[in-house]
Structure 1
Amino acid sequence: MQRTAMRISPQGDFGVVVEDFDATSHDDIRAVKRAVYRDRIAVLKGIELDPHQFVALASRFGDPVRYYEPIYAHPEVPDVFVSSNVDTGEQRVGVPKTGKFWHSDYQFMPRAFDLTFIHPQVVPAHNRGTYFIDLAAAYRILSPELRQSIADTMATHSVHRYFKIRPSDVYRPISELLAEIERKTPPVTAPTVHTHPHTGEPVVYISEGFTTNITAADGTDRPDLLRELLTATGQLDDTMTHPAIRLQTFERGDLLIWDNRTMVHRALHTATAEPSVSHRVTVYDDADGRA
């Protein structure tokens, strides 16, 4: 029997919805990947995957990379990052309240991830979703003066502000913990505006969560320039009404895939005690002819 052809439809002014996706189809994989790099995010509907299947699917888009801190790892499939506020008894699985700040995944590492996959497992009834800002679009609407100001500058990114204290850190001297963070994840520096490796677009690559400084070509620190950029891109608007901010909601059976090189995101966590669990896989995409 001939299968139903995959359908990719615009999702308003932001992203696409994908229906009847076939994970075994090379053509479907390529089409979804092109859509993600073109439209920033794809929501695949009707997807139910166990952790092993989830990693297998992500592997068809790129090379999965395990998160460097094991407290986030799924106990049976460590390549799956678990965000969960559910108490599973003897051993907690995952970490609660992850990502409640603007960031790009692994921005504090020498190489950020290309694609992020999120597969919600337990979905709260209220206040669920993720906020996004497209930093390629943000660059295009910066004033000519601000674009000129950030040309040839470098941005420094660090995990220091949002490193989550682990159970094993209880009673450790803070100086010892800070030294470990510095050793494992020293700050990284990259151009404030980088060229997207898959689309060729300029991206103003900063985040409220991980970017700590901007440095001019002559070595001068420019904290004023960082604040101006964060304001212009909407990352300092706690009301979430800035025109650059988009809220992506989801339901059980959705699989979200987004362009991590372009999008900063911030989780919307429920203020209630409703259970919430999601699985994440992140990949490096080194294939040719992606977009």
Structure 2
Amino acid sequence: MTTAVQTKPGQIETRELKPGFGAELLDVDLATADAATLAGVVDAFHRHGAILLRDQTLDPGQLTAFVANFGEPEDHTQRQFTLPGYPKVFVLSNRVVDGKPIGAHNDGVGWHTDYSYKPEPVMCTMLYAVEVPDEGSDTLIADGCAAWNALSPEQQARLDGLKLHHSYQYFMATREFGRQELSEEMKAANPDVEHPLIRTHPADGRKALWPSTGTVTHVVGMDKDEAEKAQGLKLVDELVEFLTQDQFVYRHKWRVGDVLMWDNRCTLHTGTLYDDTKYFRTMHRLWAKGDAPY
């Protein structure tokens, strides 16, 4: 379905990414867009959960300026792969130059929401495609609002009010790719946090199922013994499995020049693997700061 987002003085034509979720914004050139068009892009993001703009040509400075329309650009916990001179631009890549990787490889594989281990997780994530494989490396985005609405009233009543304990230290020690022990400085900078399982979107009050994998250590209040803790984690796993059914998931197949942004307040996402012995993939990732979940 194609609709129009009202801007002043123009309009942005949109097309759903999947029925009921997301919007592809058509015929928008971010490098030359005026303030009214950019305001329409931001408005579409807040309403649709994810937006896609294809055929863009943006340098790191333009990417940083664009993401600032959504809020203050966020820093990255792992800073060794930010672009020199552009600390808000993080490189995802399997390329190696002069014996050193230029970016993080296989980062973001596993269903999650970015910065879930922070008191104020990032509001939005933006990926800009510099080079993409001919096959594989799709990005999947799960619609937490649709999943919440699909639950029965009894299930909603059972889940609303539960909180999850998130830990960056636990995540880094147990993740599949690139496990590492944190320095004392990194531990101090990333203390454990608690966030609601069901998150309310500040733009319009819509609710989203908001679990995550990797950072969750237990359900708050369900940790008096190992059996109860295991029961709580099983519940989280079941909810992630429910949320990531095909009916709730948009699968993005990348093209060079794509700008894909998703709303971390109401979605989960994951990257997918590709043949990194045959193909190269380079993406630029930027974040905009968020607020405390409620």
Q: Does TM, scored on the shorter chain, surpass 0.5?
A: yes
Residues 164, 217 of structure 1: alpha-carbon distance in 2 compared, 3 angstrom cutoff: closer
Residues 128, 217 of structure 1: alpha-carbon distance in 2 compared, 3 angstrom cutoff: closer
Distance in 1 (CA, whole Å) between partners of 2:242 and 2:212 is 7
Pick from 70, 76, 85 the counterpart of residue 76 of structure 1: 85
Deviation at 1:88? 1.6
Pick from 224, 231, 234 the counterpart of residue 227 of structure 1: 234
Pick from 251, 260, 267 the counterpart of residue 271 of structure 2: 267
* 2:36 matches 1:32: no
SS at the partner of 1:48? coil
TM-score, scaled relative to structure 2: 0.82
Letter in 1 for 2:202: P
Structure 2 residue ranges without an equivalent (≥5): 1-8
SS at the partner of 1:278? strand
SS at the partner of 1:11? strand
Match of 1:209 in 2: 214
Q: How many residues align?
A: 274
Residues 135, 118 of structure 1: alpha-carbon distance in 2 compared, 3 angstrom cutoff: same
Contact 1:102-1:235 at 8 Å conserved across structures: no
SS at the partner of 1:27? helix
Letter in 2 for 1:49: L
SS at the partner of 1:42? strand
Q: Deviations over 1:161-220 (max 9, x none)?
A: 44289xxx99x9x5xx36554322121012222211223112222102222211239988
Distance in 2 (CA, whole Å) between partners of 1:152 and 1:17 is 34
Residues 90, 52 of structure 1: alpha-carbon distance in 2 compared, 3 angstrom cutoff: farther
Pick from 271, 277, 281 the counterpart of residue 276 of structure 1: 281
User: What root-mean-square deviation, in Å, do the aligned CA atoms of Structure 1 and Structure 2 show?
Assistant: 3.0
Distance in 1 (CA, whole Å) between partners of 2:219 and 2:143 is 20
Letter in 2 for 1:246: Y
Residues 48, 195 of structure 1: alpha-carbon distance in 2 compared, 3 angstrom cutoff: same
Distance in 2 (CA, whole Å) between partners of 1:69 and 1:54 is 19
Structure with the largest fraction of strand: 2
Match of 2:5 in 1: none
Distance in 1 (CA, whole Å) between partners of 2:131 and 2:171 is 25
Contact 1:6-1:22 at 8 Å conserved across structures: no
Structure 1 residue ranges without an equivalent (≥5): 287-291
Runs of at least 4 residues off by over 6 Å: 217-220
Distance in 2 (CA, whole Å) between partners of 1:245 and 1:17 is 15
